[in-house]
């Protein structure tokens, strides 16, 4: 069975170039293959992609995928996922998978969540009732789902601009981090077949980001994420959050910026020392008729595209663009709620982002990263 874990965990990050806080090139080695970084992980929240077939992902350059532990726990449940071959079998994906811990869902579903010292009480969105989503339980669920990388359960502050809330959030995050780190060690660390990443919180406050990063580094995680960004704080505050986190993380461990994925955010975060990303935005934008192109965003519902015979992006080699279906037909299809236009534009957008990551890697390698960065900033201007 191709999905079964076999042998000793080979998880490690090989940094080819770059330092703590500039563009970096690397390879993440896992039991299920390598990930060339900087890299973007497509999000299959419940194990399934919304748009592209999973077989389209490898040719696009996808090396690693993301799924969500809380949503998979709710449906179909850990036992069923195991019967389907673990998270990899369920996803039809034999490459590495990272699962998020549910910390972000506690934030995004905050009207349905209670925070206690011991964990979150979260409303079950499928069966009703309450789930005690504690650090130990999030660990156990992820051990059962068997991804290659499990995220710790953290507290994403509901108000990233409120210093007291952020301070309390990092105190709890660090306490829970220690608890989950101990569970990971007791299970054999990376030799269990699963790596574990810590998550830096601290909102927009530099000193809190620094102290959270340092506290996590003392616990010696297998990789680190910068979390609590892209939650409404704005572009510049988000970049400050990255700048206030990456210099304090070990230079030879992989860094992951959670929930970030516009072309501008990707190049600007790579420029600040981030290695891997995930985001629902590219495919979600596509499902709502917004195409990501080299000329910026195109809103295909605009009347200007009614009689447009061009593909989504002329010259793009993705399946949607070479299909011959013109923008005008996609526009008409979106208006009549056909399925195919949303799948096609989602697929094109993911292709664009994966291709952008490939271009970023090549540009770092050949010394032209600043040229590519300027090109992206010109098509996707920074907010003032
Ligand atoms: Zn395309």
Residues with catalytic roles: 100, 278
pTM, rounded to two decimals: 0.96
- pLDDT tens for the chain, 384 residues long, are 344 454 556 899 999 999 999 999 999 999 999 999 999 999 999 999 999 998 999 999 999 999 999 999 999 999 999 999 999 999 999 999 999 998 888 878 777 888 888 999 999 989 999 999 999 999 999 999 999 999 999 999 888 889 999 999 999 999 999 999 999 999 999 999 999 999 999 999 999 999 999 999 999 999 999 999 888 889 999 999 999 999 999 999 999 999 999 999 999 999 999 999 999 999 999 999 999 999 999 999 999 999 999 999 999 999 999 999 999 999 999 999 999 999 999 999 999 999 999 999 999 999 999 999 999 999 999 998
Spacing, Cα 55 to ligand 1 middle (Å) = 16
Residue 199: which H helix or E strand, with range?
strand 195-200
pLDDT digits 0-9 by tens, 282-325:
999 999 999 999 999 999 999 999 999 999 999 999 999 999 99
Taking only Cα atoms into account, the Rg of the chain, rounded to an integer number of angstroms, comes to 20
Q: Is 86 helix (H, G, I), strand (E, B) or coil?
A: helix
Q: Which residues contact 281 (CB under 8 A, 6 or more apart)?
A: 261, 262
Spacing, Cα 27 to ligand 1 middle (Å) = 27
Give dist(CA 334, CA 81) in Å, integer. 34
pLDDT digits 0-9 by tens, 78-137:
999 999 999 999 999 999 999 999 888 887 877 788 888 899 999 998 999 999 999 999
Spacing, Cα 345 to ligand 1 middle (Å) = 8
Give dist(CA 33, CA 312) in Å, integer. 32
Q: Is 183 helix (H, G, I), strand (E, B) or coil?
A: helix
Q: Which CATH number fits domain 12-278: 3.30.930.10, 3.20.20.105, 3.40.1380.10, 3.40.50.2300?
A: 3.20.20.105
Domain residue spans of the chain: 12-278, 286-370
């Amino acid at each position: 069975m191709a999905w079964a874990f076999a042998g000793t965990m080979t998880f490690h990050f090989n940094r080819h170039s770059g330092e703590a806080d500039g563009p970096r090139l690397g390879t993440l080695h896992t039991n299920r293959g390598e990930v060339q970084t900087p890299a973007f992980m497509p999000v299959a929240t419940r194990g399934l992609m919304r748009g592209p077939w999973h077989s389209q992902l490898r040719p696009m350059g996808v090396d690693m995928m993301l799924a969500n532990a809380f949503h998979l726990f709710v449906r179909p449940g850990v036992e069923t996922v195991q019967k389907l071959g673990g998270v990899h079998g369920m996803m039809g994906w034999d490459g590495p998978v990272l699962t998020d811990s549910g910390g972000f869902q506690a934030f995004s579903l905050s009207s349905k969540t209670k925070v206690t010292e011991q964990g979150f009480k979260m409303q079950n969105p499928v069966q009703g009732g309450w789930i005690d989503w504690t650090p130990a339980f999030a660990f156990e669920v992820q051990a059962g789902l068997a991804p290659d990388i499990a995220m710790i359960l953290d507290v994403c502050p509901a108000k990233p601009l409120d210093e007291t809330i952020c301070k309390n959030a990092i105190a709890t995050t660090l306490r829970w981090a220690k608890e989950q780190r101990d569970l990971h060690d007791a299970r054999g660390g990376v030799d269990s077949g699963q790596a574990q990443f810590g998550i830096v919180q601290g909102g927009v406050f530099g000193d809190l980001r620094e102290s959270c990063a340092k506290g996590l580094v003392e616990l010696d995680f297998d990789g680190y994420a910068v979390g609590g960004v892209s939650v409404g704080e704005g572009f510049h505050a988000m970049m400050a959050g990255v700048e206030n986190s990456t210099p304090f993380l070990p230079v030879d461990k992989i860094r992951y910026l959670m929930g970030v994925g516009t072309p501008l955010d990707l190049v600007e975060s790579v420029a600040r020392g981030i290695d891997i990303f995930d985001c629902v935005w590219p495919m979600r934008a596509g499902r709502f008729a917004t195409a990501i192109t080299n000329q910026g965003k195109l809103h295909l519902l605009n009347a200007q595209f009614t009689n447009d015979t061009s593909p989504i992006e002329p010259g793009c080699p993705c399946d949607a663009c070479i299909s011959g279906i013109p923008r005008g037909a996609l526009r008409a299809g979106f208006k009549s709620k056909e399925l195919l236009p949303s799948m096609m534009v989602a697929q094109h957008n993911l292709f664009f982002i994966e291709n952008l990551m490939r271009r970023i890697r090549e540009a770092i390698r050949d010394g032209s990263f600043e040229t590519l960065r300027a090109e992206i900033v010109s098509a996707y201007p920074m907010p003032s």
